[in-house]
Amino acid sequence: MAKDANAQDSIAQSLKNAGYSRRDFLQLCTTLVATAPMGLALTEKATPAEVAKAVGKAKKPSVVWLHFQDCTGCSETLLRTSKPDVADLIINLISLDYHETLMVACGQQAEDALNSAVKDNEGKFVLVVEGSIPRKDQGIYMKLGGKPAIDVLKDVGSKAAAIIAIGSCASWGGVPSADPNPTDAVGVDSIITNKPIVNIPGCPPNPYTLLGVVLEFAVFGKLPACDDLKRPKFAYDRVIHDHCPRRAHFDAGRFAETFGSPSHRQGWCLFKLGCKGPVTHAGCSTRHFNEIPDCWPIGNGSPCFGCTEKSIAFRVPLFDRVDAHGFTATPPDTYAPINSSIGKFGAGAALLVGLAGGAIGGASWAASQKLASSEETIADEAKSNPGGK
């Protein structure tokens, strides 16, 4: 991929040169604010106009994107963004200087493009890694340009300013690391330990999470606040279960028993079918994919797989239940039944009710008699003194 001659332009100038209006730019920043309302210094307590001002001043960051043991699904989800679309993202918001899937060059030309991008931007570029890295037998199970993938990562990673591991495979091994893990596949942070690294797990992750992380780095020169698994808090701060559209059914003890059953079709909770939503930190329930409502597993009637959790995805079988709320739930036995039976009064209860009713009735009768007596007294006084004197 040829280096953009205007790579040093500010993002605002780049968009202007491409014919985009300020309104288009504000629409993008509005999407970013909605995606990351908190957790990013860029969007914290900021309006879209304030975000646009900050982003517009920033220089387009140079991005080098490496592929290792992957299915290219993370790149595919990037290709399906629409606000901005991938052309806007690559050409106007960042300077994507190397990406094997999207570039035209191949072979020696591709090798030259990678070397040039790394050399020209050493110490300043963001390295995005997609796919896990095999370590077994000195990494001979994957090579790029004749070099083991692990050596390529060490070489390019040592010259990067920061590293983004996109997808579950790059974050901690993903599919290739599933038992028995024949190639000893691992994530980036198992190999690189002296660089700022942020993990964006998911299979695939939401592309706007990547956009937020890259723009945060472009504006402030640092990665966003992360949790103990190096996931950006703005995107992984709560479990899917918190905002799941089927949550009300979980609370009421209504669970789909089988796929295609009436309860499944009516949108009942998928917990019994193996949904990992109660223990999975991700924003899928509020940030759907490709701007399409319900475009995510639970929205399509499938249990959450837990792809953002290192100890769940590709570790716990899809249809196995997880430990919910600190105990192994066996719904609906541990929840209140949908319809409670109506109890019956015994003889003692009936007597108490009768006595209570009699007492209330007697008190009401006494009060009415007192009121009537008062009214008669007033009427007698009125007759004896018709003029009110």
Q: Tell me the pLDDT tens digit for each residue of 254-269.
A: 999 999 999 999 999 9
- Could you list the residue range(s) of the whole structural domain that residue 54 is in? 11-236
Give residue 222's pLDDT.
Answer: 87
User: Is residue 374 one of the residues assigned to a domain?
Assistant: no
Give residue 329's pLDDT.
Answer: 44
- Domain co-membership, 180 together with 201: yes
User: Is residue 19 one of the residues assigned to a domain?
Assistant: yes
- Domain co-membership, 259 together with 226: no
Q: What is the mean pLDDT of residues 269-295?
A: 88
Instruction: Select from 218, 200, 211, 215 the least CA-distant residue to 307.
Output: 200
Quote the tokens at residue 17: 């040169």
* Rounded-to-integer distance, Cα 177 and Cα 309, Å: 14
- Domain co-membership, 54 together with 193: yes
Report H helices in 253-387. Answer: 262-265, 347-384
The domain tally of the chain equals 2
Least confident of 99-103, 135-139, 201-205, 349-353: 349-353
CB 324 within 8 A of CB 340: no
Domain CATH code at residue 281: 4.10.480.10
DSSP one-letter string for 71-119: -SHHHHHHHT-BTTBHHHIIIII-EEEEETTT-S--THHHHHHHHHHHH
- Domain co-membership, 244 together with 230: no
359: left (phi over 0), alpha (psi -120 to 50) or beta: alpha
- Domain co-membership, 180 together with 246: no
Q: What is the mean pLDDT of residues 290-310?
A: 89
User: Is residue 347 one of the residues assigned to a domain?
Assistant: no
Give residue 24's pLDDT.
Answer: 76
- Domain co-membership, 187 together with 49: yes
- Domain co-membership, 257 together with 208: no
Which one-letter amino acid corresponds to residue 114?
L
Residue that is last in its domain, among 340, 367, 384:
340
| Residue 386 confidence (pLDDT) above 70 | no
* Rounded-to-integer distance, Cα 92 and Cα 55, Å: 12
- Domain co-membership, 168 together with 57: yes
User: Is residue 6 one of the residues assigned to a domain?
Assistant: no
User: Is residue 345 one of the residues assigned to a domain?
Assistant: no
Domain CATH code at residue 113: 3.40.50.700
User: Is residue 149 one of the residues assigned to a domain?
Assistant: yes
- Domain co-membership, 331 together with 194: no
Instruction: Select from 77, 126, 123 the least CA-distant residue to 98.
Output: 126
Q: Which residues fall within 8 angstroms of residue 369, CB to CB, at 6 or more apart?
A: none
User: Is residue 297 one of the residues assigned to a domain?
Assistant: yes
Helix axes 22-35, 207-220, angle to 10 degrees: 110
274: left (phi over 0), alpha (psi -120 to 50) or beta: left
Alpha-carbon separation of residue 369 from 132, 376, 377, 383 (angstroms): 90, 11, 12, 21
Residue that is last in its domain, among 173, 205, 236:
236
117 pLDDT tier (thresholds 50, 70, 90): very high
Burial 253-264 (b: 16+ CB within 10 A, else e): bbbbeeeeeebb
- Domain co-membership, 224 together with 196: yes
- Domain co-membership, 127 together with 192: yes
Instruction: Tell me the β-bridge partners of 65.
Output: 99, 128
Residue that is last in its domain, among 220, 236, 252:
236
Burial degree of 327 (CB within 10 A; 0-12, 13-18, 19+): exposed
User: Is residue 3 one of the residues assigned to a domain?
Assistant: no
- Domain co-membership, 225 together with 312: no
